[in-house]
Amino acid sequence: MIALIQRVSRAEVAVAGSIVGRIDAGLLALIGVERDDDEQSAAKLLARVLAYRVFNDVEGRMNRSLTDTAGGLLLVSQFTLAADTHKGLRPGFSSAATPARAQGLFEHLVDLARHRHAAVESGRFGATMQVSLVNDGPVTFWLRVAPREAGRT
Residues 65, 17 contacting (CB under 8 angstroms): no
* pLDDT tops 60 at residue 30: yes
Q: Whole-angstrom Cα distance, residue 7 to residue 25? A: 8
For residues 54-74, average pLDDT = 97
First-last CA distance in the chain? 16
What is the identity of the amino acid at 2? I
pLDDT above 90 coverage of the chain, percent = 92
pTM above 0.75, yes or no: yes
User: Rounded to whole angstroms, how far apart are CA atoms 141 and 130?
Assistant: 21
Q: What is the distance between the alpha carbons of residues 104 and 126, in angstroms, rounded to a whole number? A: 12
Query: Which residues, listed in sequence order, are joined to residue 23 by a DSSP beta bridge?
Result: 11
Which residues are the active-site residues? Answer: 78-80
Q: How far apart are CA 26 and CA 7, in angstroms?
A: 6
Q: Is the pLDDT of residue 150 over 80?
A: no
Class (C level, CATH) for 2-86+98-148:
alpha beta
pLDDT digits (tens, 9 = 90+) for 129-141: 999 999 999 999 9
